[in-house]
């Protein structure tokens, strides 16, 4: 069993020229055994942050703690971590077995122990039949598992992963997401995982940090971030398709939100009581744009003209203009909707998010959450 360690960042910043900060004032405490994901668009600083934890980049300001020790000046070899890179970084002239145990050989681990560890991890990752092959003879998934095996075999309590699945096809990525998560749970290692793919972040993380322009936007578990985004950036970055956003004008006297000349809604919720007249940003998830029913057809119904349709088998996604912006709706099932059709949709008041126009911070989150609990049945 690994000795699990925490990682703590205290006001960490990174600058290459002492002027512009690539990463600015980041603080977070990553718990022992936690699967922590750094997610954000390209260039947001997530890989730089990972490299600072690994000791491959110097920390300009702040304190890094690994376990209970300050690690700012520790060389990478003394940080008790393993790392999986985006390009796998396998030695092409070595076999899979030799790649896996290379780090153990450098550490002068006994030959018998190296062999035992290699066989154990190969069996865990289904690599037993490939140990004598060279990396060029492996598929992308097998190379990825070899790189992961090399990280695991060192028995380091902390594993860093820098976009390890980005070179794989979609089907293999989905499989490897599940495998990595299972291995992390099995070994109880602390894992810090970098990705630009919000689907990976949502499906793998215990907690996630969303970065943008080197600054923390939000930290939390995936469902809390999805349901309660801190600001406009988080709301549009997390979710597929992303949240629909538009400016709106609130008229306090008649309790009305005007999104466009065709799209208006009245509100009555108590949480809207404090709204002043003025400009805001309104947001609504595609799955919360409903079709009219007997219960909702009399309120906040409007007609939209379809500009694109995608029928995905179990759901239908269609798009339309709101002002000059494209909005998207997602309905369960297969709907025979054609481009150019004009169809009614309903804005459900409980489903909207509202953001401050100047700061873009959240003012109201959706309270229309469709959470379901699995009912256990006794079968006789």
What's the angle, vertex CA 155, arms to CA 188 and CA 203, rounded to 5? Answer: 40
Amino acid 4: pLDDT:
76
Domains defined along the chain, listed by start: 7-232 (3.40.50.300), 233-364 (2.40.50.140)
- Asked whether the predicted pLDDT for residue 1 surpasses 50, the reply is no
pLDDT band at 373 (very low <50, low <70, confident <90, very high): low
* Residue 310 φ then ψ, to 5°: -130, 115
Could you identify the residue written with the tokens 């990396």?
135
Give the Cβ contact number of residue 86 at 10 Å: 15
pLDDT band at 380 (very low <50, low <70, confident <90, very high): very low
152 in Cβ contact with 159 (< 8 Å):
yes
Residue 5 vs residue 72, higher pLDDT? 72
- Asked whether the predicted pLDDT for residue 285 surpasses 90, the reply is yes
For the ranges 18-32, 224-238, 272-286, 296-310, the lowest mean pLDDT is seen at 296-310
CA gap 112, 117 in Å, rounded: 9
CA gap 235, 254 in Å, rounded: 28
Cis preceding-peptide flag for 267 (omega within 30 of 0): no
Exposed / middle / buried, residue 115 (Cβ in 10 Å: 0-12, 13-18, 19+):
middle
* Ordered DSSP codes for 187-219: HT-EEEEEES-HHHHHHH-SEEEEEETTEEEEE
CA gap 364, 271 in Å, rounded: 8
Give the Cβ contact number of residue 345 at 10 Å: 19
CA gap 336, 319 in Å, rounded: 14
Q: How confident is the prediction for the chain on average, in pLDDT?
A: 88
Tokens standing for 241? 């398709």
CA gap 180, 145 in Å, rounded: 9
212 in Cβ contact with 31 (< 8 Å):
no
| Interacting residues of 234 by C-beta distance below 8 A, sequence separation 6+ | 210, 217, 218, 225
pLDDT band at 56 (very low <50, low <70, confident <90, very high): very high
């Amino acid at each position: 069993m690994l000795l699990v360690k925490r990682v703590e960042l205290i006001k960490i910043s990174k600058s290459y020229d002492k002027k512009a900060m690539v990463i600015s004032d980041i603080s977070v405490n990553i718990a022992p055994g936690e699967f922590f994901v750094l997610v954000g668009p390209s260039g947001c600083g997530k890989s730089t942050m990972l490299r600072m934890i690994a000791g491959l980049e110097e920390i300009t300001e702040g304190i890094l703690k690994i376990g209970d020790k300050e690690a700012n000046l520790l060389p990478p070899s003394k940080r008790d971590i393993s790392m999986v890179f985006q390009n796998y970084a396998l030695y092409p002239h070595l076999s899979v077995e030799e790649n896996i145990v290379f780090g153990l050989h450098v550490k002068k681990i006994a030959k018998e122990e190296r062999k035992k560890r290699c066989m154990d991890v190969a069996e865990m990752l289904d690599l037993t039949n490939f140990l004598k092959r060279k990396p060029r003879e492996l598929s992308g998934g097998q190379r990825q598992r070899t790189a992961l095996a090399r990280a695991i075999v060192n028995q380091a309590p902390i594993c860093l992963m820098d976009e390890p699945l980005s070179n794989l096809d979609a089907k293999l990525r989905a499989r490897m997401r599940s495998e990595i998560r299972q291995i992390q749970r099995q070994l109880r290692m602390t894992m810090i995982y970098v990705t630009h793919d919000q689907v990976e972040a949502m499906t793998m993380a215990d907690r996630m940090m969303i970065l943008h322009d080197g600054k923390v936007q939000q930290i939390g578990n995936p469902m809390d971030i999805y349901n309660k985004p801190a600001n406009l950036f988080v709301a549009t970055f997390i979710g597929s398709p992303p949240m629909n956003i538009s400016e709106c004008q609130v008229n306090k006297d008649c309790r009305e939100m005007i999104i466009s000349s065709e799209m208006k809604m009245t509100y009555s919720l108590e949480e809207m009581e404090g709204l002043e007249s003025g400009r805001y940003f309104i947001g609504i998830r595609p799955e919360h744009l409903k079709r009219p029913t007997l219960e909702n057809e009399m309120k906040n119904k409007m007609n939209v003209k379809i500009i694109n349709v995608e029928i995905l088998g179990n759901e239908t996604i269609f798009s339309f203009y709101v002002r000059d912006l494209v909005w998207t709706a997602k309905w369960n099932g297969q709907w025979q909707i054609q481009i150019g059709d004009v169809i009614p949709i309903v804005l459900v008041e409980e489903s909207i998010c509202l953001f401050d126009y100047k700061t873009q911070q959240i003012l109201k989150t959706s309270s229309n959450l469709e959470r379901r609990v699995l009912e256990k049945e006794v079968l006789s």
